[in-house]
Amino acid sequence: MGAGKSTVAQALAERLPKSVHLRGDLFRRLIVSGRVEMSPDPVPEAVNQLRLRYDLAWDVAAKYAEAGFTVVYQDVILGEFLGWTVERLQAYRPAVIVLDPSAETLTARDKGRTKNIYGDPVHGSWTAEMMRQVLHDQTPHIGLWIDTSAQSVDETVDAILAGLKGAGTERSAG
């Protein structure tokens, strides 16, 4: 959270022909009442809603890909869910891009935003350090991981495009 996913994904999609920027968080925000936020110690309903969010995003990503679009699917996908995402979208040869700025950078960026995530009780009192711990200790290290701490948006997109070209994966970015 706060790694620059939305900004980078939009900039990446704008550089690709026939592309879609799919914001996974949209499916969370569509829940008007009864939404349960993920937290460091989630209740079962929070996990159920997270799985629903991912299922919906995967279905939409697949439909756009089937229609010939390059889908830049952007979301917070941690732990076992990252492997599941790649497996679910395997037919579309997804490229995994992980933005991995330092905890200090995450915290500084969060303080500069209108919607703060870290330390907000509504979001389960996540800290940047906790988020990075889940990322590094519980998430499969697959795909291209980029420390974006000192990069501009354009530099990050350049690194992604270079990484995709180097890996021979120019069809999909996720």
pLDDT in tens, 93-134: 999 999 999 999 988 887 877 776 776 555 557 888 988 999
Helix or strand (DSSP H, E) at 23: strand 19-23
Q: For residue 85, how far is the Cα from the chain centroid? A: 11
Note the pTM of the prediction, 2 decimals: 0.88
pLDDT of residue 122: 57
With CA atoms as reference, report the closest residue to 15 among 163, 167, 158.
Answer: 158
Domain 5-167 annotated CATH 3.40.50.300: yes
pLDDT of residue 119: 66
pLDDT of residue 108: 86
∠ CA(9), CA(169), CA(68), 5° rounding?
Answer: 70
Q: What Rg, from alpha-carbon coordinates, does the chain have?
A: 16
Torsion of CA 100, 106, 109, 113, to 10 degrees: 110
Beta 97-99 vs 70-74: how paired, if at all? unpaired
Residue 172 has pLDDT above 50, yes or no: no
19 with 174: CB under 8 angstroms? no
**pLDDT digit string (tens) for 17-71?**
999 999 999 999 999 999 998 888 899 999 999 999 999 999 999 999 999 999 9
Q: What is the DSSP letter of 173?
A: B
Torsion of CA 125, 130, 132, 136, to 10 degrees: -140
Residues in contact with 53: Cβ distance below 8 Å, sequence separation at least 6, in sequence order: 24, 25, 27, 28, 75
Residue 171 has pLDDT above 50, yes or no: no
Helix or strand (DSSP H, E) at 64: helix 44-66
Confidence of residue 166 (pLDDT cuts 50, 70, 90): confident
Confidence of residue 88 (pLDDT cuts 50, 70, 90): very high
1 with 101: CB under 8 angstroms? no
